[in-house]
Amino acid sequence: MTGLTTTIARKSGYHINLMGLCSAAVILFWAIIALIAPMITPYPVGEIVDWDYFGPSSSAFWLGSDYLGRDVFSRILMGARFTVGISLVAVTLACFIGVTLGMIAAVIGGVFDQVLSRFLDAFNSIPSKLFGLVVVAAVGSSIPVLILTLTAIYAPGSYRFARALAVNINTMDFVTVARARGEGAIYLIWEEILPNILGPVLADFGLRFVFIVLLLSGLSFLGLGVLPPNADWGALVKENISGLPFAAPAVIYPSIAIASLTISVNMMIDNLPKKIRDREN
């Protein structure tokens, strides 16, 4: 295995970690599943196919059957669409909004920065689960509403992070040189600041994705997220919770699916490929 990592290292100039590779593989796996799920489920997702409910893992039903007798494996595969899909859309929106506003605030400064920062700081006063709860209680939980709510909860954090990074870069001499040259704000943001914060911003993207997956699962678990007949992984745990005293696979495997995704993303962020900086070359 070390042979593989050192070869990649030498060829690409990046120092790659075994852990990082494995996590990337898991993430890729779920991404592909999310895309092709309807084509590969062994049983139709909503149909009762087993006489026994909470059946154990068997050759017919790889991950057992759920509280109604439906195939857990198929439902997990379809659940990937919702968990991964909703979270991905939400995190992309949140980070796009947050990073853009953060950079603009850092470069322009002044009143715009002050007002925006105070306004977004107010979002900090409400714990995320609570916010989700209240919004769902008010507006219901259709998928667009879920996505917007998740975006609203996590965009301020992304803004604060990106703004802090951008402010840091803004004080560096090369930005001052560009300013002294007469460059405008758009050039500064696009050419000077963005390339230098891309790394940490992507790591934050990954972290935020994990937060969103966890929050979404939590909301679904409370019955406030993805509603029947659809089910994301959190909802799967909720509907099968009565099987817990019997250690039914139907309760455990959806959780494992969530854990595999979130742990992999965290692992990958910790083990991002590091560029080799060898001065002797």
Partner 1 sequence: MSQPIVQLKDLRINATTDSGRQVEIIKGVSFDVTPGEMLALIGESGSGKTTIALSLLGHTRSGCWIDAGEIVVDGHDMAKLSEAQRAEHRGATVSYIPQSAAAAFNPAKSLIDQVIEAARIHDIMPADAARKKAIELFRALALPDPDTIGERYPHQVSGGQLQRLSAAMALITDPRLVIFDEPTTALDVTTQIEVLRAFKSVMKQGGISGVYVTHDLAVVAQIADRIAVLKEGEVQEIGTTEQILHAPEHPYTKELMSAFEPKAFEGIAIGNTHDIKPVLDVKDVFAGYGPKRSDGMPTALILKDINFDLMPGKNLGVIGESGSGKSTLARAVAGLLPPAAGQIGFNGAALRPDLQHRTKDQLRRIQIVFQLADTALNPNKPIGKILGRPLDFYHGLKGRAREARVDELLDMVRLPKSIRHRLPAELSGGQKQRINLARALAAEPELILCDEITSALDTVVAAAILELLKELQRELSLSYMFISHDLSTVEAICDDVLVMYKGEIVERMPTVQMRDGAQHAYSRLLISSVPQLDTQWLDGLEQDLEIIAQFSHR
Partner 2 sequence: MNNIIFKLIAQRLGVMIISLVIVSFAVFAATQLLPGDVAEILLGQAATPEAVAALREAMGLNQSALVRYFQWLAGLAQGDFGLSYVTNEPIVDLIAGRLQNTLRLAGITALFSVPLALSLGILAALYQDTRFDRIVSGITVTVISVPEFMVATIAVLIFAVHLKWLPALSYANEITSLGHMLKIFAMPVITLTFVISAQMIRMSRAAVIETLNTPYCEMALLKGASRIRTVMVHALPNALGPIANAVALSVSYLLGGVIIVETIFNYPGIAKLMVDAVATRDLPLIQSCVMIFCFGYLILIMLADIISILANPRLRT
Among 25, 32, 35, 139, binds partner 2 (CB under 8 A): 139
Per-residue mark of binding to partner 2, 152-191 (x: CB under 8 A): ----------------------------------------
Instruction: Please confirm whether the linkage preceding 156 is cis (ω < 30° from 0).
Output: no
What does residue 52 show for φ and ψ, rounded to 5 degrees? -90, 130
Q: Is 80 in the site for partner 2 (CB under 8 A)?
A: no
Nearest CB to partner 2, comparing residues 72 and 188: 72
- Residue 273 binding partner per list partner 1, partner 2, none, with a CB distance cut-off of 5 to 8 Å that depends on partner kind: none
Q: Is 266 in the site for partner 2 (CB under 8 A)?
A: yes
**In the complex, minimum distance from the CB of residue 123 to partner 2, in angstroms, rounded to a whole number:** 9
**In the complex, minimum distance from the CB of residue 219 to partner 2, in angstroms, rounded to a whole number:** 10
* Alpha-carbon gap, residue 117 to 111, rounded angstroms: 10
Q: Is 133 in the site for partner 2 (CB under 8 A)?
A: yes
* Alpha-carbon gap, residue 76 to 94, rounded angstroms: 26
- Residue 277 binding partner per list partner 1, partner 2, none, with a CB distance cut-off of 5 to 8 Å that depends on partner kind: partner 1
The letter for the amino acid at 98 is G
Q: Is 11 in the site for partner 1 (CB under 8 A)?
A: no
Q: CA torsion 97→100→104→110, rounded to 10°?
A: 20
Q: Is 180 in the site for partner 1 (CB under 8 A)?
A: yes
What does residue 14 show for φ and ψ, rounded to 5 degrees? -115, 145
**DSSP secondary structure code for residue 61 in this structure:** S
Q: Where do we find the tokens 């850092």?
A: 106
Angle at 87 between CA 158 and CA 168, to 5 degrees: 15
* Residues binding partner 1 (CB under 8 A): 9, 15, 172-174, 176-177, 179-183, 191-192, 195-196, 274, 276-281
